[in-house]
Structure 1
């Protein structure tokens, strides 16, 4: 477990140094949930509002059926444990369902292997009126037919994701996370998730999302937004890295924005859109999109697919703006590339530029006359 392993190793080293060692909690420990999926389900059913359930250290809780829905305030402290759907022979189900009125807090835990041939949120699904808080949690290897392979948050739901790792999840939209609600994610990593349509790591269809001190890397989408797809609502990304994501389709290797997006002191780098006439290797901004970059770097992205025709071309390795609003404030767009010019910033309308540079892109830097101060 990515965010748990270091703490466990440090504790073991301290125990050896002091001469005090102990193995995992055993059946005689009355304060922890016995190491079985059945015992965990029973403990959730019987838990009082506001109770904390402690799991056995490093135990794997194998589930043969879905856990009871969370309808009240409940904290589960994993102590390095894993909650996992037990193998391909078991029925299809998600791991956690948070209903309206439920408030689920997970700590030091792995949630793994949820599978839904229909529906959304194979790892964790938060319904309207429900709340989710993750701290040092790994959400891994979950697959949903529809939205949010790892986590899905409905409109009216909320989630707070801190110091966590969301990886190797799969869905049609939002391989790692799908949200229409209110989400804050800080000091976390979204990696190697896949969307069969859009939003390899994150798909936002409404609400508000804050991304702070995150790494979003090596995610893929068969269509749009290899890293992030923003269809509606607003998102702010602060002090984060969106790197090495890939869209195999037509737009947005790193980010596809159709709403309101603000990037502050962040880096969009090494992303690729590779489809025929692919546009916006780093960022694709649509006609209704509002894009603001403050102190942000867009570098080494590419739109490297073949041209479809003389007018349908792979262009805008750094940023592609199709009639939306773009403002560059103390930001740089450099070392990006595309099959056809320009490789830095392609735009159909005037971009606002304040103390920013568009430079060293190939074949050229920008759409002539539409990016003030930019020259080729």
Structure 2
């Protein structure tokens, strides 16, 4: 792999001295070989990079952008070394930070993507921080923060045909209509990452899956909010392909609307060795403090606890609200949840399947309108 280098006469002289004396290169010496600390220099580096190149940024620099970066339509790696790429919010017009087309394969490492902003009059409304428009994205130790989209994916939008691999990253304080942190209609893998304090004006405060498949492992989705009628404060799932969440926590999310404080599922969701806790649906007659389900829901070794449907009217199903969907609890628990009216545990209008699972200590009751083996009041 070829690396882009920016060298000055002074840098070359310093390198020669270092070589003669045998002394180690300093951080300042290394930064001489990296993209100069300006948005213009970064744009030029991306535009002129050849396929397969790696761009190195200066450590802890803020690359202030007054215009959008070039669209990425090639194989490119950007190593941030702790740098921040920031849209200049004081003078710049609305634009997204990164845009990847169908020929693009972008890898971002150790940097922050911040301040992308898209309005109704922008070129396209999805993905204020990063849009994957048919290409591929890989994030490693990347913060995607403080981005706002008028449509979908405040932080990241993965369009149909696109893919994203998000590892050891932090997606937070982003805002959109759907998918405050992440909107996906493609293929997404999330590992060892956190989605926190994102907001959806409609649905999917942390993550909105429209179509495609999603895998989330060893991650945390917390303190996200949504405000629509079918909301999902933490996660909203609509696609029919499998969404799998493993060894993760969906916790302390809030839906100020009416369905799914932690998760709204109208797709195919499997939760394994995970926790759904402390989530709230707070709207009038809200349904499903922890999980609202009208699709296929399978919980294995998963604990749903201390969630609530606490709005006025007939707010119900503090743990799980099932509206005609398929639910299987396998070695799982639904406990210590609460709602304004009964039941506080599981509200379902069709029979569900329990395998070595318990529904207990919910307020005011455990199950209704159906009671079944493993759930009595």
Normalised by the size of structure 1, how large is the TM-score? 0.91
Name the structure 1 match of 2:237. Answer: 230
Once the 2 structures are TM-superposed, how far is the Cα of residue 96 of structure 1 from its aligned partner?
Answer: 0.1
Once the 2 structures are TM-superposed, how far is the Cα of residue 226 of structure 1 from its aligned partner?
Answer: 0.3
Name the structure 1 match of 2:34. Answer: 32
Name the structure 1 match of 2:61. Answer: 59
5+ long unaligned stretches in structure 2: 1-22
Name the structure 2 match of 1:253. Answer: 261
The alpha-carbon distance between structure 1 residues 74 and 21, as it changes in their structure 2 partners (threshold 3 A), is closer
Counterpart among 95, 98, 106 of residue 96 in structure 1: 98
Name the structure 1 match of 2:284. Answer: 276
Please give the per-residue CA displacement for 1:93-122, whole angstroms capped at 9, x wherever unaligned: 000000011000000000000000031100
Please give the per-residue CA displacement for 1:127-158, whole angstroms capped at 9, x wherever unaligned: 12x00000000000000000000000001100
Alignment RMSD (CA, Å):
1.4
The runs of at least 4 consecutive aligned structure 1 residues that moved more than 2 Å come to: 19-27, 368-372
Once the 2 structures are TM-superposed, how far is the Cα of residue 211 of structure 1 from its aligned partner?
Answer: 0.3
Counterpart among 126, 146, 170 of residue 141 in structure 1: 146
CA contact (8 A) 1:322 1:348 kept: yes
Computing the radius of gyration over CA atoms, which structure comes out larger, 1 or 2?
2
Please give the per-residue CA displacement for 1:34-79, whole angstroms capped at 9, x wherever unaligned: 1110000000011010100000000000000000000000000000
The alpha-carbon distance between structure 1 residues 285 and 26, as it changes in their structure 2 partners (threshold 3 A), is same
Name the structure 2 match of 1:216. Answer: 221
Once the 2 structures are TM-superposed, how far is the Cα of residue 231 of structure 1 from its aligned partner?
Answer: 1.3
Name the structure 1 match of 2:335. Answer: 334
Counterpart among 255, 262, 287 of residue 270 in structure 2: 262
Cα distance between partner residues in 1 of 2:180 and 2:289: 19
Once the 2 structures are TM-superposed, how far is the Cα of residue 372 of structure 1 from its aligned partner?
Answer: 2.2
Cα distance between partner residues in 1 of 2:369 and 2:285: 20
5+ long unaligned stretches in structure 1: 1-18, 308-312
Cα distance between partner residues in 2 of 1:96 and 1:150: 11
5 Å-filtered alignment, 1:2-151, equals 22-24=26-28, 29=32, 31-118=33-120, 119-128=125-134, 130-151=135-156
Any idea what SS the aligned residue of 1:45 has? helix
Normalised by the size of structure 2, how large is the TM-score? 0.90
Once the 2 structures are TM-superposed, how far is the Cα of residue 322 of structure 1 from its aligned partner?
Answer: 0.3
Name the structure 1 match of 2:194. Answer: 189
Name the structure 2 match of 1:198. Answer: 203
CA contact (8 A) 2:142 2:168 kept: yes
Please give the per-residue CA displacement for 1:170-229, whole angstroms capped at 9, x wherever unaligned: 000000000000000000000000000000000000000000000000000012100000
Name the structure 2 match of 1:295. Answer: 301
Cα distance between partner residues in 2 of 1:26 and 1:93: 31
